[in-house]
Amino acid sequence: MADQYDPKFGLSPKAGIEGPARIKAIYLHPIKSCGPVEVDRALLTKTGFMYDRCFAFATETVNNDNPTASKLRFISQRTKPAMSRIKTELWLPHKYSNSHDPLVQSGGCVVVTFEDPDLPSWSNRVETFFHTWNPFALPQLSFIVPLHITAAQTGDIQAKLKTFGIHHRDAKGLDISGIPSIAAALPRLKKFLGISGDQSLTLFKCTPDTLSRTDKNLAPLKYIGSPALHGYTDQQPININSLSSVHAVSAHLPTENQPLNALRFRANIWITNSPAYEEETWKRYCILQKSGGTEPRASVAPAFSVVCRTSRCTIPNVNPETGTFDADNPPPQKKRGKPQPSTTLVQYRTVEMGNKAALGYLGMHCVPEDWSLKRAEEQEAGLYIEVGDEIEVLERGEHLYGSVSPTLSALIKAAAAKIGKPYLAEEIKYI
């Protein structure tokens, strides 16, 4: 994505193209709302890409008047924009790894790095300079998060499943804050994020037992096979976006806010060679193996159902490089400018009214279809997607966010439960 601003990627909505859309980049976000990891290939699972949004930070405010009222809630760039500057890296074992190494037994780890919030000493500055050759670079702190917690580790750190809030829903996860490397780093991370002393900071790990079933914008079971599941994503397993669409939005921004960094939108799959907003017409698509990669993978074209547009929140206003909210230049009589790109998205990308709270729409939510996952399993191979693969659109149609209202969905599910058919809600939607 280093060349994402190149005008050649900004195809207008009516542009003529040759050939199919292609995957330009793939991103994983191991810790929800922290920095992403760009990869050449990613393993597709029922719940999205392996290692995407498998951890989340949460805080708990202590209520001295009513301790039982205290509740853990996730934190994100909406309130802690500096989270965009928390860097993450994935380390995975290879064939020469020592099988007795605890990190190998944990399936690898996430390396988390952030700036030291404390005033650095001269020795720290000198050490940082020799590592970066940048006299202005600030000292960094790093800690390691195991990808999987072994039974022995669970007992050692007394890890327990706990409930915490993500938006409207209760999520669950394994509290791994007791792992020594994490426990040592959390106080400094709290200071970096500006979390007050009366709040705890907890790191949760999503487990197979704590996955969430999607409860709105439901994908048709006749295509996906079984209800959609996800970890700590907000709603759906996969998000896809187009560089052309970002370029089109960027062209509407005030000059001081151009160019628009696509990574503000935190998609998993970035595509090129597609006119702006063309992805909004897709209902189903598959990914054709065209990258020419040498690593083994299943000879299956992964298929997806496109569920709805992505209704945007305030996170795209966060500059991922500075960890601060952006705004345009205010007029002379004003002290503050309007938030960007949200103001522009509301003006030009309120293309439907499915979510009245949406700050515009950009990107599409997707759900993997079970048949392609099962076929890969039969081949005993991973269902990988790689940069350079091509998109084949299988079906087109209209989209409306939340086309089944929460009230109607709840009534249908209640009726379905009484007759012993829990998936009736998804089926009725597509009759």
Q: How does pLDDT run across 261-312, given as a tens digit for each residue?
A: 999 999 999 999 999 999 999 999 999 998 777 789 999 999 999 999 999 9
User: For the residues of 257-293, what is the DSSP string, one character each?
Assistant: GPSPPGGGG--SEEEESS-TTGGGGEEEEEEE--S--
Domain count for the chain: 3
d(CA 175, CA 162): 7
The band of 156, judged by pLDDT with boundaries at 50, 70 and 90, is: confident
Cα separation of the two ends of the chain: 41
Tokens describing residue 400: 């409306």
Buried b (16+ CB within 10 A) or exposed e, 419-431: eeeeebbbebbee
Cβ 87 vs Cβ 80: under 8 Å: no
In 30-150, where do the E strands start and end?
Answer: 37-39, 41-45, 48-49, 55-61, 72-74, 87-91, 109-115, 140-146
CA 133 to chain centre: 32
Structural domain contains residue 349: yes
Identity of residue 413? K
Give the pLDDT mean for 118-140. Answer: 70
Q: Which residue has the tokens 């012993």?
A: 420
pLDDT surpasses 60 at 424 = no
pLDDT surpasses 60 at 421 = no
Identity of residue 121? S
Give the pLDDT mean for 123-147. Answer: 77
69 and 96: one domain? Answer: yes
376 and 285: one domain? Answer: yes
d(CA 258, CA 79): 24
Structural domain contains residue 213: no
Query: Which of 205, 233, 253 is at the close of a domain?
Result: 205
pLDDT surpasses 90 at 419 = no
CA 387 to chain centre: 18
246 and 390: one domain? Answer: yes
20 and 97: one domain? Answer: no
Who has greater pLDDT, 45 or 158?
45
Structural domain contains residue 422: yes
200 and 274: one domain? Answer: no
CA distances from 371 to 43, 69, 321, 380 (A): 16, 44, 40, 14
d(CA 266, CA 233): 11
Residue 230's H or E segment, with its range, is strand 229-230
Structural domain contains residue 39: no
- What CATH code is carried by the domain that includes residue 350? 2.40.33
- Which domain does 348 fall in, by range? 1-28+218-400
Structural domain contains residue 211: no
d(CA 40, CA 24): 9
What secondary structure letter does DSSP report for 18? S
User: Which pTM does this prediction carry?
Assistant: 0.90
**Backbone φ and ψ of 74, nearest 5°:** -65, 155
Structural domain contains residue 33: no
d(CA 318, CA 323): 6
Least confident of 74-83, 88-97, 232-241, 291-300: 291-300
Give the pLDDT mean for 153-166. Answer: 85
Tokens describing residue 139: 């000292």
Structure confidence at residue 431 (pLDDT)? 30
Give the pLDDT mean for 190-216. Answer: 93
Cβ 20 vs Cβ 391: under 8 Å: yes
Q: Is the dihedral of CA 38, 33, 262, 400 positive or negative?
A: positive
Cβ 286 vs Cβ 372: under 8 Å: yes
CA angle 378–380–384, rounded 5-degree value: 105
100 and 195: one domain? Answer: yes
102 and 63: one domain? Answer: yes
66 and 103: one domain? Answer: yes
d(CA 268, CA 333): 41
d(CA 113, CA 141): 6
Structural domain contains residue 210: no
Cβ 185 vs Cβ 177: under 8 Å: no
Q: Which residue has the tokens 């990574």?
A: 263
Q: Which residue has the tokens 């305030």?
A: 314
The band of 130, judged by pLDDT with boundaries at 50, 70 and 90, is: low
